[in-house]
Structure 1
Amino acid sequence: MSSATVPAAPASLPKDPPGGRKAVLVWSIGVAVYFVAVIFRTSLGVAGLEAADRFHVNASALSTFSLLQLLVYAGMQIPVGLMVDRLGTKKVLTLGAVLFTAGQIGFALSPSYGMALAARALLGCGDAMTFISVLRLGTRWFPARRAPLMAQLAGLVGMAGNLVSTLVLAPVLHGIGWVPAFAGSAVAGLVVLVPLVLFLRDHPEGHEPPPRPAATAGAAGSGAGGFVRRQISDSWKEPGTKLGLWVHFTTQFPAMVFLLLWGMPFLVEAQGLSRTTAGGLLTLIVASNMALGLIYGQIVGRRQSSRIPLALGTVAVTALMWGSVLAYPGDHAPMWLLVCLCLVLGMCGPASMIGFDFARPANPAERQGTASGITNMGGFIASMTTLLVVGLLLDATGDDYRIAFSSVFVLELLGISQILRLRGRALSRERDRATTAVAGAVVTAGAVADIAPSEVSPARP
């Protein structure tokens, strides 16, 4: 047999990325960009009173900042996922860093409420490009078994950014004033741009993504339009993508709503705490989130079967704690119960990351960005809905927080019903994919092993 007949290993079989020191360095650059984005995103949370004074607005106008930012962030998730799949991580992260830095500078210098809103929208647009890009880096640079832990670590770094804005930016703002504090913090965006442009790579050498299939006649269009339709349609057809969205939807929003807007008013007005004590409880949520993220990542990475129990268990414990606080007899819940509530709310962030652990194995590498974007929309849609509903119920009931926060249970029930509906199909499809991948690897290994030495070596005389 001549060497021309030697079967080549199929190029389409994906190889597991090696990880290692270089992977950690590249991933750290992307995570540093996300870290700065979260500092900018949460910077308004420590400057609410100063913003109201600076722009001469009331509480409702002030809350528009948070709602607009969430709306832009959620609305950008699918477009950003498509951009990551089409353009690559580096280009999208670079554009995101430029936009959120420009938004932070614009917010620092805005002389009016309208211009400040536009600056926050620009910041939210850039911020939306960071997290999905970091998730993509994790899947491209590390073995698949490490993906859940890398995702949780990315979320942990985001929570660290939240802490920095609370513990560092707040005293700086009170010490040197609005413009120096916000404009000065924008320098961090310029700092992370340098290593991003110089050193970040989309994937390790030898692990390039497969080329996109060319459009054929009768397919869903060609060019950019056809690509967008195919990516969204193919991602959404996967039960794992839908399950990931609903897991994210159901788990993330209780903590986000509490941290972004309604936690401080609830603790101060409904529970009679001082602002300092209430701020300490909000910080406890962030600390709990950071500690639990590592635990959740390790559990899911070692045992995939734990994903549904962890997600549903988190929802159940969250609902139990909320119910205990809201139903507690008397005007105020005791401090120990509020502490328990905040510790449990810290579980919501790590649990929401499990959604990506369903979308990731359901989609090939070339659809990871789009699938992550669809998944990431879930929690932000739930958060926006709850932010609005709680506000409307507070106005309608004369600030009855017990009725207003009962809306949390409605969205949790909706999410649980969808998780239970989709989990069977998603897990069955995931098992089928894993079996096919193993069979393909065995066939390839067998084909290589069957090649005789004379078939790969020059003929000896």
Structure 2
Amino acid sequence: MNSARSWLVFGGATFAYLIAVMQRTTFGVAGVEATDRFAVNAATISVVAVVQIVVYAVLQIPVGVLADRVGAPLLIVCGAVAMAAGQALLSISGGIWLALLARVLVGMGDAATFVSVIRLLPGWFEGRILPQLSQWVGMAGQLGQIVSIFPFALLLHVQGWTPAFLAAGAASVGAAVLAAALVRRGAPNLTTGELRTIDPLETGLRASLARPGTQLGFWAHLLGGTVPTMLGIMWGYPFLTAGLGYDPATASGVFSMMVVGTLVSGPIVGLLVARFPRRRSDLVLVIAWGAIAVWTATLLWQPVPPLWLVAALFLAVGVCGPASLIGLDVARSSNPHHAHGSATGVANSGGFVGGFVAMLLVGVVLDVVDEVRVAGGAPSELYGLDGFRIAFFASYLIAVIGTVGLLAKRRHTRRRLYEEEGIQIAPLWVVLLSARGRRRPPGVRQ
């Protein structure tokens, strides 16, 4: 555990995830070009991205179960191969249906990667470093976004559609080769003696789904991950280039602030989670609604939000990435070791379920706003700033649903913790008052 070999495995697996995130976000970077190439509207383009994320979300639980049974290394390699095939197919596609099939392959390969990487960690590492490693994996994934918004976007604009997506596919081939060479399963999860002590009713996917901590992890990931998924995969880059009129260089620079936010906040969030494990849900709420506050200010600013505010928005959205990973840590710590893969798969589907609903909702609203504009005699402006304002506000509903779900499941989880272990978690305001010197009720944990 925690050996040099462990870090070598971690490096190979994390690189595979970096490339997976690059593949996940390339279609969003090429969203405007895709509209022209396939001669379709915004809703159709959003459907392609949504199908990719639906495939990803639907496969999270099966992948988690497979990671527990057949091992994460095989899934990581197969995922990279599937993404390479998908990007190669997209590079030659001339119609929307072929593009849809290509993104399904990318979604399948992407789905096999992250949960498998997270599942590897307890087999190679132990101690308080585990929640921090989850954040480091997420930070590495954000570097994949850097690759998609800089080298890939540059290649797309200079060389065109086919060379750009072929190069992206080649990167996944390299990731598959590296993972096959470096990534191995860690220490066995269970001994024979341990197997005899496990209640059969406590094993399997149904048991993981029934645990309140798994459900809390799902809602935490949905609340923290919806906006980064929606902006990072589909609508962030078109909002900057078509909605705000930024040139590609400026748009890429602003978009990269999302990556900066993740890279800067990831280690801090990891340390806070390790230091205050009972306050993980509070941390998700503060970060998510802080980002929504900045988003609201950006959308309400008239006539056009200034560059610094837009950059602050993408920086705040980047911080939501580490917040969403808190949900995975909640699910992992609420389940026995043999069920970590299943629980992580359930929790990791949250942000992507919210993300694909938000992406589809934004695309539909953009089309409706443009149709109303044209019906009123104005020229068509599908990706206009006013359309994005209305469409983005419509997606706030998902944040409200996520918050309600998180609070409800947190209450359930804390009640069970009190019933089973006698631990009562004080409300955050009690802890804050206690920090100012007030006496905390006996038997209540901060």
Counting only pairs closer than 5 Å after superposition, residues 37-76 of structure 1 correspond to structure 2 as: 37-76=20-59
Report the counterpart of residue 394 of structure 1 in structure 2.
366
CA contact (8 A) 1:356 1:375 kept: yes
Cα distance in 2 for partners of 1:51, 1:419 equals 36
Q: Does 2:275 correspond to 1:311?
A: no
Counting only pairs closer than 5 Å after superposition, residues 125-136 of structure 1 correspond to structure 2 as: 125-136=108-119
Which of the residues 252, 255, 262 maps onto 2:228? 255
Report the counterpart of residue 307 of structure 2 in structure 1.
335
CA contact (8 A) 1:264 1:275 kept: no
Over residues 352-401 of structure 1, what are the superposed CA-to-partner deviations in whole Å (9 max), with x where a residue is unaligned? 00001110011112111111111011111111111222233334444544
Cα distance in 2 for partners of 1:402, 1:52 equals 20
Cα distance in 2 for partners of 1:409, 1:107 equals 32
CA contact (8 A) 1:156 1:290 kept: yes
Counting only pairs closer than 5 Å after superposition, residues 236-385 of structure 1 correspond to structure 2 as: 236-268=209-241, 271=244, 273-328=246-301, 330-385=302-357
Report the counterpart of residue 63 of structure 2 in structure 1.
80
Which of the residues 178, 193, 209 maps onto 2:190? 209
CA contact (8 A) 1:393 1:403 kept: yes
Cα distance in 2 for partners of 1:396, 1:288 equals 33
Aligned length: 405
> 5+ residue gaps in structure 1?
1-17, 221-228, 437-461
Q: Secondary structure of 2:112's partner?
A: coil
CA contact (8 A) 2:284 2:323 kept: yes
Instruction: Compute the displacement of 1:270 (Å).
Output: 5.1
Instruction: Compute the displacement of 1:49 (Å).
Output: 4.0
Q: What is the letter of the counterpart of residue 183 of structure 2?
A: L
Report the counterpart of residue 405 of structure 1 in structure 2.
392
Determine what percentage of the aligned residue pairs are the same residue. Answer: 35
Counting only pairs closer than 5 Å after superposition, residues 99-138 of structure 1 correspond to structure 2 as: 99-138=82-121
Measured at CA, do residues 30 and 270 of structure 1 come closer, stay the same or move farther in structure 2, by a change above 3 Å? closer
Measured at CA, do residues 417 and 50 of structure 1 come closer, stay the same or move farther in structure 2, by a change above 3 Å? closer
Instruction: Compute the displacement of 1:276 (Å).
Output: 4.2
Q: Does 2:12 correspond to 1:29?
A: yes
Report the counterpart of residue 93 of structure 1 in structure 2.
76
256-265 vs 340-349, which moves further: 256-265
Cα distance in 1 for partners of 2:364, 2:167 equals 37
Q: What is the letter of the counterpart of residue 251 of structure 2?
A: A
Instruction: Compute the displacement of 1:430 (Å).
Output: 5.6
Q: Secondary structure of 2:186's partner?
A: coil
Report the counterpart of residue 8 of structure 1 in structure 2.
none
Instruction: Compute the displacement of 1:117 (Å).
Output: 1.7
Report the counterpart of residue 7 of structure 1 in structure 2.
none
CA contact (8 A) 1:251 1:351 kept: yes
Measured at CA, do residues 64 and 426 of structure 1 come closer, stay the same or move farther in structure 2, by a change above 3 Å? same
74-83 vs 33-42, which moves further: 33-42
Cα distance in 1 for partners of 2:300, 2:160 equals 42
Measured at CA, do residues 244 and 116 of structure 1 come closer, stay the same or move farther in structure 2, by a change above 3 Å? same
Cα distance in 2 for partners of 1:199, 1:270 equals 44
Q: What is the letter of the counterpart of residue 281 of structure 1?
A: V
CA contact (8 A) 2:218 2:327 kept: yes
Measured at CA, do residues 429 and 135 of structure 1 come closer, stay the same or move farther in structure 2, by a change above 3 Å? farther
Q: Secondary structure of 1:202's partner?
A: coil
Q: What is the letter of the counterpart of residue 387 of structure 1?
A: M
Q: Secondary structure of 1:143's partner?
A: coil
Cα distance in 2 for partners of 1:313, 1:400 equals 28
TM-score normalised by length of structure 1: 0.80
Report the counterpart of residue 407 of structure 2 in structure 1.
420
Instruction: Compute the displacement of 1:202 (Å).
Output: 1.1
> 5+ residue gaps in structure 2?
373-385, 424-446
Cα distance in 2 for partners of 1:360, 1:431 equals 19
Q: Secondary structure of 2:205's partner?
A: helix
CA contact (8 A) 1:32 1:192 kept: yes
Q: Secondary structure of 1:130's partner?
A: helix
Q: What is the letter of the counterpart of residue 359 of structure 1?
A: A
Q: What is the letter of the counterpart of residue 209 of structure 1?
A: L
Counting only pairs closer than 5 Å after superposition, residues 133-148 of structure 1 correspond to structure 2 as: 133-148=116-131
Cα distance in 1 for partners of 2:80, 2:361 equals 33
Q: What is the letter of the counterpart of residue 406 of structure 1?
A: F
Instruction: Compute the displacement of 1:317 (Å).
Output: 0.7
Report the counterpart of residue 437 of structure 2 in structure 1.
none
Instruction: Compute the displacement of 1:338 (Å).
Output: 2.2
Q: What is the letter of the counterpart of residue 318 of structure 2?
A: G
Measured at CA, do residues 192 and 322 of structure 1 come closer, stay the same or move farther in structure 2, by a change above 3 Å? closer
Q: What is the letter of the counterpart of residue 351 of structure 1?
A: A
TM-score normalised by length of structure 2: 0.82
Measured at CA, do residues 52 and 396 of structure 1 come closer, stay the same or move farther in structure 2, by a change above 3 Å? closer
